[in-house]
């Protein structure tokens, strides 16, 4: 059997040892063979471009290969869409998946899985925090621009790859190009590490949820000393919410160097967290799909209720005005663009392999273009809703604190009048204590200039904008502070922590899909042991998560979340983009998708994949690397001596640990590249029980256009092949 490889890509995909197989389950990792669509199909793999076409029956492959290779080179051309749809039977690529591969019960469950993984805790809190500290409206403009020009095309790429190949991240990128087969292993490792500490975030939410069934809330007041009516002095020196977080929840040490055994109540919370995850995943998509109806839809309903409630608060308008106030200089700040880009990839979930895994359980005819836009829009809606809620609450807190400042100043003036320092003429009206926000500014404005100069040295500066800066940030302390704003705080505490727990659960389901699916695709025997595999992974992940519930565990969570995650994920997405756009070919990939979906796809995706996305990703990667190398890595720690949060620098061994973690995570990429290089340079015999294929390259003089020769020998044993 002879095949004609695509000459344009042979330098990246040299002649390969391949396999002809009649078994749908067989997939030899070394020979990079894709699955046939049925038992009568002949799978032939000679270069990367034919990998996606190899699932066609042999007759269709030989007849249609020339048509696909003759696509117009014009990157903006729409002619290819019409030609392919007219001349190619769209059912040819809609072959069936392996009979033992499960499906999502319906399209709704599939979309819920994608949205649930995409909308996580960082969407709710990190997004408003970054918006406030990076230009407000300017940040929104940059975010929306990058989301639709970079985020959506890359999301579509991952969804389409998983849907087309019907495999997890490990198998997909081996098929696209063996040279970057290590990308799937790196995605797998990222899911494992993120799953370890992300489950702890969910455990914190569960612990707070249990504590919320009390009145008054345990973090609303300082505790009393044992056998005394005096409040704990450490709590008195700070706020009750901060004290509860560090002393009751984390049992935090003052430094990361101080260790200790896992905290008992957090260990129980982590165990319950992994038990819930295990039950949700125990039957694969069948069980997780049903759980997603609650864990995805409920948070959107709660967010909507919180939004309506926050807009009725006093001062909400001021917070909203602060949100819309754009800082033009932020549009030209490289740092703002870097933070915005990192937020898109960390929030959306590119590079984890979870979108690929989730999409591998949906029929190939599914319209993944619309799915990518739907997931991005729902993620954006959740981010904007959370942002308006946070800013409205911040405006209320700022107004509340500002009113306290007005009342305090009024009392100071009254005391100065009593002592004779100030004349009685400057006495504020009694109504000021009832409506300080409107009466105080009017009273102060009407004072004579001479009186103002006498009063000002004794008054505090009540600036609403400065009060706003003290609003909620990305922390559980800020969440508990926010709850105190609402009347009926116990009910709202339960509602908010149910929201956070469900967001954590839906994201963890997506992360677990990025772990389980590649394992089952790599080791076919595990497909029949889904329950046992799920339980085993959850047990191992639970044991690993105990590292992060020690008294210093939260400092390790910050180290990984703030400094480790960005670099591996950006590198993964860069290689995915380059592999699909330049190694396999964006034009060819879109042609495959047009056949698969049976509908035209805008050629703008080719331009975005080939030029804009790689450039932006590379700039982000270099900028993040420089930022990480030049900046001191710090963490927010608790100092019990002063009862306050302090910024500390991570010790040298923590920096070494960070570097080792990054290197180990990306190590599979160069390692698999070397493995592939050795495999090409020193080919060995491949013997199968049914079929053996010998690959004989042509002479070196024709190396640019090799025509490999496949010799098929049924049921023969070969001792050695050249």
- What would the DSSP string read from start to end of 514-529? HHHHHHHHHSGGGGGG
For helices 566-578 and 334-348, the axis angle rounded to 10 degrees is: 80
Three-state SS for 408? helix
HEC readout, 342-388 = HHHHHHHCCCCCHHHHHHCCCCCCCCHHHHHHHHHHHHHHHHHHHHH
Positive or negative, the CA dihedral 683, 684, 690, 696 is positive
Is 506 annotated among the ligand-binding residues? no
Rounded to whole angstroms, how far apart are CA atoms 46 and 511? 34
Q: Which two tokens stand for residue 428?
A: 């504020």
Is 468 annotated among the ligand-binding residues? no
**Residue 647, φ and ψ in degrees, nearest 5:** -90, 120
With CA atoms as reference, report the closest residue to 178 among 9, 20, 42: 9
As a whole number of Å, the end-to-end CA separation of the chain is: 18
- What would the DSSP string read from start to end of 481-503? HHHTTSSSHHHHHHHHHHHHHHH
Three-state SS for 205? helix
Cis peptide before 216 (omega within 30 of 0): yes
- What would the DSSP string read from start to end of 310-328? HHTSTTHHHHHHHHH---G
Place of tokens 């609450």: 393
Rounded to whole angstroms, how far apart are CA atoms 135 and 327? 5
DSSP annotation of 330 reads: G
Three-state SS for 649? strand
- H-run or E-run covering 714: strand 709-714
**Residue 140, φ and ψ in degrees, nearest 5:** -60, -40
Q: Which residues pair with 638 in a beta bridge?
A: 645
- H-run or E-run covering 151: none
CA atoms within 13 A on the CB side of 537: 30
Is 119 annotated among the ligand-binding residues? yes
Positive or negative, the CA dihedral 583, 585, 589, 592 is negative
454 burial class (0-12, 13-18, 19+ CB within 10 angstroms)? middle
Instruction: Give the CA distances from residue 464 to residues 225, 410, 431, 439, 453, in Å, rounded to whole numbers and listed in that order.
Output: 36, 17, 21, 15, 21
Three-state SS for 257? coil
**Residue 373, φ and ψ in degrees, nearest 5:** -65, -40
Rounded to whole angstroms, how far apart are CA atoms 411 and 94? 78
Residues with Cβ < 8 Å from 627, sequence gap 6 or more?
338
Rounded to whole angstroms, how far apart are CA atoms 527 and 112? 23
Q: Which residues pair with 636 in a beta bridge?
A: 647
Q: Which residues pair with 634 in a beta bridge?
A: 649
DSSP annotation of 79 reads: H
Q: Are 283 and 555 in contact (CB under 8 A)?
A: no
Bridge-based pairing of strands 691-696 and 644-649 is unpaired
DSSP annotation of 224 reads: B
Q: Are 648 and 165 in contact (CB under 8 A)?
A: no
Q: Are 492 and 486 in contact (CB under 8 A)?
A: yes
As annotated, the binding site includes 116, 119, 347, 379, 503
Which residues belong to the annotated binding site for Na(+)? 116, 119, 347, 379, 503
């Amino acid at each position: 059997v002879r095949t004609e490889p695509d000459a344009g890509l042979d330098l990246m995909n040299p002649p390969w040892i391949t396999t002809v197989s009649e078994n749908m389950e067989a997939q030899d990792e070394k020979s990079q063979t894709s699955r046939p669509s049925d038992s009568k199909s002949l799978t032939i793999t000679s270069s990367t471009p034919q990998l996606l076409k190899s699932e066609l029956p042999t007759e269709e492959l030989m007849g249609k290969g020339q048509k696909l290779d003759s696509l117009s080179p014009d990157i903006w051309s729409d002619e290819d869409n019409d030609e392919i749809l007219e001349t190619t039977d769209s059912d040819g690529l809609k072959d069936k998946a392996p009979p033992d591969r499960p499906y999502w019960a319906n399209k709704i469950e599939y979309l819920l899985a994608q949205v649930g993984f995409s909308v996580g805790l960082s969407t709710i809190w990190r997004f408003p925090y970054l918006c406030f500290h990076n230009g407000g409206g300017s940040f929104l403009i940059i975010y929306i621009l990058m989301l639709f020009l970079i985020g959506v095309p890359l999301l579509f790429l991952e969804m389409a790859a998983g849907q087309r190949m019907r495999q997890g991240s490990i198998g997909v990128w081996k098929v696209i190009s063996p040279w970057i087969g290590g990308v799937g292993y790196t995605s797998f490792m990222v899911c494992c590490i993120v799953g370890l500490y992300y489950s702890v975030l969910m455990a914190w939410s569960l612990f707070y949820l249990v504590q919320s069934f009390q009145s008054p809330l345990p973090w609303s007041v300082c505790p009393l000393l044992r056998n005394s009516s005096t409040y704990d002095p450490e709590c008195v020196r700070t706020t009750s919410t901060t004290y509860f977080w560090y002393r009751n929840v984390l049992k935090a040490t003052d430094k990361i160097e101080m260790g200790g055994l896992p905290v008992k109540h957090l260990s129980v919370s982590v165990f319950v967290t992994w038990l819930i995850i295990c039950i949700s995943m125990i039957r694969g998509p069948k069980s997780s799909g049903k759980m997603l109806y609650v864990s995805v839809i409920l948070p959107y309903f709660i967010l909507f209720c919180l939004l309506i409630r926050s807009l009725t608060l006093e001062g909400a308008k001021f917070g909203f005005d602060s949100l819309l106030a754009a800082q033009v200089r932020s549009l030209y700040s490289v740092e703002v663009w870097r933070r915005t880009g990192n937020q898109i990839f960390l929030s959306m979930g590119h590079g984890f392999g979870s979108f690929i895994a989730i999409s591998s359980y949906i029929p190939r005819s599914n319209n993944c273009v619309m799915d990518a836009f739907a997931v991005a829009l729902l993620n954006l809606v959740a981010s904007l809703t959370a942002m308006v809620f946070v800013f409205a609450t911040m405006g209320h807190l700022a107004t509340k604190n500002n009113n306290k400042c007005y009342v305090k100043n009024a009392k100071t003036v009254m005391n100065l009048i009593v002592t004779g320092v100030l004349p009685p003429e400057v006495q504020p009206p009694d109504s000021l204590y009832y409506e300080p926000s409107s009466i105080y500014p009017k009273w102060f404005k009407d004072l004579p200039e001479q009186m103002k100069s006498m009063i000002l040295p004794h008054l505090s500066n009540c600036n609403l904008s400065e009060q706003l800066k003290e609003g909620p940030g990305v922390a559980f302390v800020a969440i508990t502070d926010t709850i105190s704003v609402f009347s009926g705080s116990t009910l709202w505490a339960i509602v908010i922590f149910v929201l956070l727990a469900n967001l954590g659960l839906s994201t963890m389901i997506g992360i677990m899909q990025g772990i389980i699916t590649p394992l089952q695709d790599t080791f076919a025997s595990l497909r029949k042991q889904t329950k046992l595999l799920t339980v085993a992974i959850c047990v191992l992940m639970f044991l690993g998560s105990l590292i992060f519930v020690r008294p210093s565990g939260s400092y390790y969570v910050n180290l990984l979340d703030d400094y480790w995650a960005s670099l591996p994920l950006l590198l993964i997405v860069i290689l995915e983009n380059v592999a699909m756009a330049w190694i396999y070919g964006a034009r060819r990939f879109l042609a495959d998708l047009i056949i698969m979906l049976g509908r035209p796809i805008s050629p703008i995706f080719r331009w975005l994949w080939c030029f804009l996305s790689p450039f932006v990703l590379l700039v982000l990667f270099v900028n993040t690397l420089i930022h990480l190398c030049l900046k001191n890595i710090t963490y927010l720690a608790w100092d019990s001596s002063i009862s306050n949060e302090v910024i500390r620098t991570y010790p040298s061994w923590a920096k070494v640990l960070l570097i080792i973690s990054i290197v180990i995570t990306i190590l599979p990429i160069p390692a698999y590249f070397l493995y592939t290089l050795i495999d090409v340079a020193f080919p060995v015999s491949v013997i199968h029980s049914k079929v053996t294929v010998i690959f004989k390259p042509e002479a070196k003089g024709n190396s640019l256009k090799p025509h490999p020769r496949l010799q098929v020998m049924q049921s023969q044993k070969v001792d050695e092949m050249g």
